[in-house]
Structure 1
Amino acid sequence: MSGLSEIVDSLEIKLEKLAQKVEKLQKQNQELENEVSRSGSAFNRQSEEIVLLKQQNESLRMANSLLGSDENKRETKLKINSLIREIDYCIAQLSD
């Protein structure tokens, strides 16, 4: 009978160790999930910032081309022509 008692004691010890490992892994899993969530939030913020910076860059390019810098004369002419066409279209719409 003492052999059976030793086996049961051994199983209890192993079960306790296993339960501790499961708890440790659950904590580690939760920490990793939190880190993934933080990384996702940071990624979203950075994506929004990139979009904003691209818009600002385009606005600055547009302003620079409208100011008539030597570097962007062709763009300036194209933009002015485009604006004139839009104005002509609006005038035509108002005339109808």
Structure 2
Amino acid sequence: MSGLSEIVDSLESKLDMLARRLEHADKAKKGLESEISHSAALINRQAEEIAALKQQNESLKMANSLLGSDENKRDTKLRINSLIREIDYCIAQLSD
């Protein structure tokens, strides 16, 4: 009977150790899930910021080309011609 009681005690201690490991793993999992959600939110904010900065960059490029700086004379002329073509197309559409 002594052998049986030792086996039961050994099983109880192993089950207790397994339960502690499970608790530790659950805590680690929750921490990692929290970190993942935080990282995903950060990525989304950064993606939105990148999109806004790209839009702002394009707007600044257009404004700079329309200002007619010496460096961008060719771009300015091309942009003005493009705008004139768009206006002509709109007028033609309205005339029909």
Q: TM-score, normalised by structure 2?
A: 0.96
Gaps of 5+ in 2: none
Gaps of 5+ in 1: none
Structure 1 residue 31 corresponds to structure 2 residue 31? yes
Sequence identity percentage: 73
Superposition RMSD in Å: 0.8
CA distance in 2, matches of 1:19, 1:94: 77
Q: TM-score, normalised by structure 1?
A: 0.96
CA distance in 2, matches of 1:45, 1:78: 35
- Structure 1 consecutive aligned stretches of length 4 or more whose deviation exceeds 6 Å: none
Q: How far is the alpha carbon of 1:69 from its aligned partner?
A: 0.8
Tell me the amino acid that sits aligned with residue 87 of structure 1: I
Aligned residues: 96
